[in-house]
Every structure is written in structure tokens, then in C-alpha cells.
């Protein structure tokens, strides 16, 4: 209380001092500058009059309540390929939102496909997991912490796979009860993790569906060329009646998506809004001059092209080496020459499944249990048919990604260096 009294007294003395200075200035203005009385009054009241006049003018006009504009954050290529592609696809139009949109985050489990691929990448890059694949008989306690870390990664992978499975089951129901474009609106949640009206990919399909409904209410108008093309390929590839007749050397159909995608992205309704996506797929960057400094900048900038090139090599590795082995796995099981190897594999899986010493993480134990039960099943014919169907589904999407990476994306010719300025300006 004592401090408050001192502060109040100090404020009063300061106000009195300022008032004395103000009176001195008024007398100087009146005596030295020979100002009139009313002019001095006007000068002293000018600030107050100005503030009141602004308040009156402002009060006569209604407040313009325009909604705030929020933009979705952009992910650069340095944040990782999954983040970059997700931002590129889900926010290609830089749409203005009335509310602050939820960020496209890959680690929160909202976007099922991105979340699953992110966890799958972490497991595939784990050194202990790669060592276990190459040396399945090696189980030890010296890497106990690494086993725990791998178990956590596999747990997240299992959770993401369950989320993806639930989403696919829901999507199949929606796909059966709606047109192709309406189902694609729902499918945008698989990549973006938000409702269709909150991401640019979903808004694109909503707008496309409205355009088709305005033009024609017939069922055929609800499909766009690329969807019709994919559906026809999909139906031909997964015809159950022809699965038993399929041979391992049968070539996959050529999807030839690039001309259809290019035509769609260059069409009038989407020419402006699809510019960023069109550049990512078909664009090139020419730079001049090409020297050590600029080449290093372009090299760091093109890290995502090297990642895509590695993915393309992995897809080729799948078709050339892994795919034939997976297709013939049932023949390997029933081949007498491979019974010894099969018995060893079963023993390793049984050892992993039983986990007598308790050193194997639960997720690896469940995985071993699943494959062990698969190898000891007796219904060979049905298992072979289901296995072929599963491989055909994997082949379809692998072939789809391979077509995009090989024929659409300009991975190998994304950056074009020039040493001659005249040649540079010609292009």
C-alpha cells in the first residue's frame, strides 16, 4: 500500500509538471509568435477534434466482415519425398480457406496410405531387419535395444496396415454404391488425410463431378478417360475365371497413362490450377551457366529425382527377381528337391513363433506365426488361386507406378545444363 501511494503521488507531480510546461508554451505562443486567442484554442484542441472527426466518419460506414484467408503449408523436397508429393497433390491450387486448415502430416495416422508407406520405409531401412532377412538363423541378446526399436517400428507398421485395411473396406462399399468420380472424392482422404472438401485433390473431383452432372445425368458421363482406362485394365487383370490359366511369363498390359494424363492436365478447366502438378510430371528446368557452383545447387535441389530413380530400380528388381520367386512359391513348397530347404524355413519360423527365450519382439513373433501357418496349410488349390490374385493386385499397382516413373516423370532429363548462352535463350 505504501508503494501504491508513492506511485500515485509521483504521477500527480508529473502531470502538474507537464501542465506547467504546457502553460509556458501557450504564453510563448501568445507573446512571441503573436497568436490570437481563438487560434491558440484551435491549436490546443486540434488533436481532440481530429480524433472525434475520424470516429464520426468511421461510425457512418458498416464494418466489412470479410473472412480471413488461410493457406495450407507447403512442403519442400528437402522434407522428404512422401511429404513433398503429398503437399504437391493435396495443395496444388493454393486454395484460400476460411478456417485454419489442418496440416498434412504423415506421422499422425490421418492419411492411411502416406502413414503406411512412411512406416514401411522406416522398417525397410532398419539395419537389423535387413540383417534378419539375410541371416534368419541369427537371434541374439547383444542387440536387445535394436530389437525393441524394430518391434516399435513393426507395431506402428501393423497399426498403419490396420488403418489402411479398414479404409479399403469402407472404400469398396462406397465404390460399389457410387460413380467413379464420387468414389475418388472419398479416395482423396487416403492420400491427404482430410475430407474431400478440405483438400485440392478432393475439390478437383467434386468440381469434376458437378461438371459431369450438369452436362449429362447418364452413367457413362460420370467417368473420365483415365478412370475408364484404369477400370478396364483392372477388370481384365483380375478376372477370376482366367487366373488359373495365367502363366508367370505373361506380360503385363501397357497402361499408357501419360498421354491421357497430359491431355487432362492441359484441358481448359484445369490448365491453370494444374500447373504445379503438370510441371512435376512433365516439366524440365534449364539453367545457365553450368559450372561447379550451379551444378552443386541443382544437385541438392534434385534430391527427389534420385529418390524416384531408386524407387524405379526397386520396381524393376521386383519384376525381374522377386516376382518370379513369389509366383513359384507354391511350386517350391511341393517340389521334392526343395523339401530340405522348406523344412529348414519351417523350423526357423517355428523357432521364431515359439520365442522360448522371450528375446523376439511380439510383432516379429506374430509375423512368423502367420507365415508358419501359411506354409503348413493343406488346401493347396485355393491357396494358389488366392496367392495369384494377390500377386496380380500387387503387379497392377507396381506396373502403374513403373509407367508413371518411366514414361511420365522426366527423372533423367529433369535438369538441363547449358554452357552456351545463345543455345539457352533459344529454348
HEC states along 262-317?
HHHHCCHHHCCCCHHHHHHHHCCEEECCCCHHHHHHHHHHCHHHHHHHHHHHHHHH
pLDDT at position 203? 79
Smallest CA-to-CA distance from 265 within 257, 253, 277 is with 277
pLDDT at position 322? 78
User: What confidence tens digit (pLDDT) does each residue in 283-295 have?
Assistant: 888 888 888 888 8
SS3 state at 395: helix
Give the whole-angstrom CA distance, residue 60 versus residue 73.
39
pLDDT band of residue 369 (cuts 50, 70, 90) is confident
Give the whole-angstrom CA distance, residue 161 versus residue 362.
16
SS3 state at 377: coil
**In this structure, are residues 415 and 295 in contact, taking their beta carbons and an 8 Å threshold?**
no
- Give the count of beta carbons closer than 10 Å to the beta carbon of residue 420: 11
Mean pLDDT over 91-99 rounds to 72
Does residue 404 register a pLDDT over 70? yes
C-alpha cell at 23: 502553460
Give the whole-angstrom CA distance, residue 115 versus residue 159.
10
Alpha-carbon distances, residue 302 vs 1, 299, 414, 416 (angstroms): 68, 5, 8, 12
- pLDDT over 70, % of the chain: 54
Mean pLDDT over 374-389 rounds to 57
C-alpha cell at 46: 486540434
C-alpha cell at 195: 475430407
- Lowest mean per-residue pLDDT among 48-57, 130-139, 388-397, 415-424: 130-139
User: What confidence tens digit (pLDDT) does each residue in 118-177 have?
Assistant: 777 777 777 777 666 666 545 555 666 777 777 778 777 777 777 777 766 666 666 555
Better pLDDT: 197 or 101 = 197
User: What confidence tens digit (pLDDT) does each residue in 216-257 have?
Assistant: 554 444 455 555 555 555 555 544 444 444 444 445 556 677
pLDDT band of residue 17 (cuts 50, 70, 90) is confident
Mean pLDDT over 261-267 rounds to 77
- Give the count of beta carbons closer than 10 Å to the beta carbon of residue 395: 18
Smallest CA-to-CA distance from 285 within 179, 416, 157 is with 416
pLDDT at position 357? 67
Give the whole-angstrom CA distance, residue 104 versus residue 192.
6
User: What phi-psi label fits residue 296: left (phi over 0), alpha (psi between -120 and 50 degrees) or beta?
Assistant: alpha
pLDDT at position 219? 47
pLDDT at position 30? 67
pLDDT at position 253? 58
Smallest CA-to-CA distance from 276 within 200, 175, 209 is with 200
pLDDT at position 107? 41
427 contacts: CB under 8 Å, gap ≥ 6: 286, 416
Query: Where exactly are the structural domains of the chain?
Result: 2-59, 69-223, 233-427
Give the whole-angstrom CA distance, residue 202 versus residue 188.
5
pLDDT at position 77? 64
C-alpha cell at 179: 460413380
Mean pLDDT over 12-26 rounds to 78
Residue 118 exposed, middle or buried by CB count within 10 Å (0-12, 13-18, 19+): buried
Which residues on neighbouring strands pair with residue 285, listed in sequence order? 415
Better pLDDT: 225 or 364 = 364
Amino acid at each position: 500500500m505504501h508503494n501504491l501511494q508513492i506511485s500515485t503521488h509521483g504521477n500527480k507531480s508529473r502531470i502538474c509538471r507537464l501542465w506547467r510546461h504546457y502553460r509556458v508554451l501557450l504564453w510563448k505562443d501568445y507573446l512571441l509568435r503573436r497568436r490570437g486567442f481563438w487560434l491558440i484554442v484551435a491549436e490546443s484542441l486540434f488533436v481532440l477534434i481530429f480524433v472525434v472527426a475520424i470516429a464520426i466518419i468511421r461510425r457512418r460506414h458498416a464494418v466489412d466482415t470479410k473472412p480471413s484467408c488461410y493457406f495450407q503449408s507447403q512442403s519442400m523436397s528437402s522434407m522428404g519425398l512422401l511429404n513433398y508429393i503429398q503437399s504437391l497433390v493435396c495443395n496444388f491450387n493454393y486454395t484460400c480457406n476460411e478456417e485454419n486448415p489442418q496440416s498434412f502430416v504423415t506421422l499422425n495416422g490421418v492419411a492411411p496410405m502416406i502413414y503406411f508407406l512412411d512406416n514401411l520405409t522406416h522398417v525397410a531401412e532398419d539395419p537389423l531387419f535387413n540383417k534378419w532377412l539375410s541371416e534368419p538363423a541369427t537371434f541374439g541378446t547383444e542387440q536387445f535395444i535394436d530389437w525393441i526399436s524394430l518391434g516399435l517400428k513393426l507395431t506402428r507398421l501393423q497399426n498403419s496396415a490396420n488403418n489402411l485395411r479398414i479404409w479399403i473396406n469402407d472404400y469398396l462399399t462406397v465404390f460399389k454404391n457410387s460413380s467413379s468420380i464420387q468414389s475418388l472424392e472419398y479416395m482423396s482422404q487416403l492420400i491427404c488425410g482430410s475430407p474431400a472438401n478440405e483438400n485440392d485433390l478432393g475439390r478437383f473431383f467434386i468440381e469434376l463431378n458437378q461438371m459431369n452432372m450438369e452436362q449429362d445425368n447418364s452413367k457413362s458421363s460420370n467417368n473420365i478417360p483415365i478412370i475408364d482406362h484404369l477400370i478396364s485394365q483392372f477388370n481384365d487383370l483380375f478376372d477370376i475365371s482366367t487366373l488359373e490359366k495365367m502363366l508367370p511369363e505373361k506380360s503385363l498390359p501397357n497402361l499408357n497413362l501419360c498421354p491421357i494424363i497430359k491431355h487432362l492436365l492441359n484441358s481448359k478447366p484445369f490448365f491453370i490450377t494444374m500447373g504445379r502438378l503438370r510441371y512435376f510430371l512433365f516439366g524440365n528446368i534449364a539453367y545457365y551457366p553450368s559450372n561447379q557452383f550451379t551444378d552443386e545447387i541443382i544437385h541438392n535441389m534434385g534430391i527427389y529425382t534420385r529418390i524416384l530413380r531408386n524407387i524405379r530400380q526397386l520396381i524393376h528388381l521386383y519384376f525381374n527377381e522377386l516376382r518370379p520367386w513369389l509366383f513359384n512359391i507354391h511350386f517350391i513348397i511341393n517340389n521334392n528337391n526343395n523339401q530340405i530347404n522348406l523344412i529348414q524355413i519351417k523350423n526357423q519360423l517355428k523357432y521364431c513363433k515359439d520365442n522360448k527365450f522371450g528375446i523376439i519382439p511380439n510383432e516379429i513373433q506374430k509375423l512368423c506365426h502367420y507365415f508358419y501357418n501359411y506354409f503348413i496349410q493343406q488346401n493347396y488349390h485355393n491357396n494358389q488361386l488366392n496367392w495369384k490374385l494377390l500377386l496380380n493386385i500387387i503387379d497392377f499397382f507396381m506396373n502403374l507406378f513403373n509407367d508413371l516413373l518411366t514414361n511420365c516423370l522426366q527423372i533423367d532429363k529433369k535438369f538441363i545444363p547449358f554452357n552456351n548462352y545463345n543455345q539457352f535463350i533459344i529454348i
